[in-house]
Amino acid sequence: MSHNLQFYIDGQWVQPSGSKTLDVIDPSTEEAIGAIALGNEADVDKAVAAARAAFPAFAATSKQERLALMRRLLEVYKTRYADIAETLSREMGAPIELAHKAQAAMGTGHLAKMIETLENFEFEELRGTTLIAKEPIGVVGMITPWNWPMNQIMCKVAPALAAGCTMVLKPSEIAPLNAIIFAEIVHEAGIPKGVFNLVNGDGPTVGEAISRHPGVDMVSFTGSTRAGILVAKAAADTVKRVHQELGGKSANIILDDADLNRAVKLGVESVMRNSGQSCNAPTRMFVPAALHDKAVAIAKAVAEPLKVGAPASNDTFLGPVVSETQYNKIQKLIEAGIKEGADLVTGGSGRPEGLNRGYYVRPTIFGNVTDDMTIAREEIFGPVLSILPYQSDDEVVQRANDTPYGLASYVQSGSLERARKVAAQMRSGNVYINYPAWDAGAPFGGYKQSGNGREYADFGLEEFLEIKGTVGYAAA
């Protein structure tokens, strides 16, 4: 039985309070592949009540009890792995290989890392005669995006479970079907009723109701900076904790001693992967002015063979972007780049040749971009790379940091010492030197308008905990 038109509340699938539904669109065909129910404030009230009722007992569970639940969750997740990957590919357009090897894999990666983290985590510490205790914050409202859906669900659910919190999840209404599968996994894994609750809906209705609900102790949000501001404002009246991972406009600094071919190639591929829909994509590539034209030629040669096409094809590198709204936004920004005088190296507006339906975007590269251009300032969230020439290390550091965002930075150099010096000056939550392997144990989150708080491993777990000091706990 499909649960697409139901919500998961208090350990069971229930009917929505209202009758509104929303089609889920396959962005490669622009056709509906299903529909979900849209929740309202009454549905949120029911979910929060269930989470509040479940909290005292779940908060009192032992670390070993929670570890057993999380290990069972991981086992069941693996049995539904293919379902998750295929669903993600259809509802958000991820190429099937990316969906299997990265999108769905983030679920197992983060959950396994959080299990390892909890095994070694201490919730109490005696400092002199004072007991320092770390306790679950309470009921957590979770609002997750469509670009890496399972990654962001697990980045919130796993630490909340580890901490002993209960939760209400609102996934993106654009790519919600994977979250319904996840709720089925939660149910099969035997997570106690009321600990995890799922209500589908849109941001202005369900998202806002969660954010301002007095029964929610914390809201964890991932999405655009614009939406994050609205969440924070809605949460302000109840002074709840607001944990946010927001937008980015990440700089990729290629120093003059880097392997230029490798640095440009991997930089281009990093932007184009997931059709540019990653908040930490290195979309501003800074290259020494003397090497600008050579870098542009390399970038063009790398981008043009990348196949744009149906997500189901194994050789597709870029699938469609997620929606018509995203497609139109990206087209306007590409047109702004052309109008403002950047050199269009490859790509441009419109669909790629041979594709007349689906939200497909040409892999686009601009050269000779200046800092004041719209494409260098705004988060495009599409397969668009800006290449900016610079003269000196000091100059490029200042320009790379001249952005309201601060999620990630990238530094490429033949000298690790030189790369470290530049990395130390970057105002961002992450710096990646010479394209390292992904690290589930590194803190993830941003400076400035890229958010507050951190995810992954113990850094993520700490966000779901309150700190209590019991003075005089031990005899003097």
Just list the catalytic residues: 245, 279
Structure tokens at 437: 């392997």
Structure tokens at 465: 């905990």
CB atoms within 10 A of CB 315: 8
Task: Report how far apart, in Å, the C-alpha atoms of 137 and of each of 235, 242, 260, 338 are.
Answer: 15, 12, 48, 49
Specify the DSSP element, H or E, that contains 15: none
**Angstrom distance (rounded) from CA 372 to CA 379:** 14
**Angstrom distance (rounded) from CA 139 to CA 195:** 9
Write the DSSP assignment of 113-158 as a string of letters.
Answer: HHHHHHHT--SEEEETTEEEEEEE--EEEEE--SSSHHHHHHHHHH
Are 322 and 175 within 8 A, CB to CB?
yes
Using only C-alpha atoms, the chain has a radius of gyration, in whole angstroms, of: 23
Question: Could you identify the residue written with the tokens 């050269």?
Answer: 367
Question: Could you identify the residue written with the tokens 């494409």?
Answer: 375
3-state secondary structure of 396: helix
**Angstrom distance (rounded) from CA 357 to CA 261:** 34
**Angstrom distance (rounded) from CA 108 to CA 115:** 11
Are 344 and 337 within 8 A, CB to CB?
yes
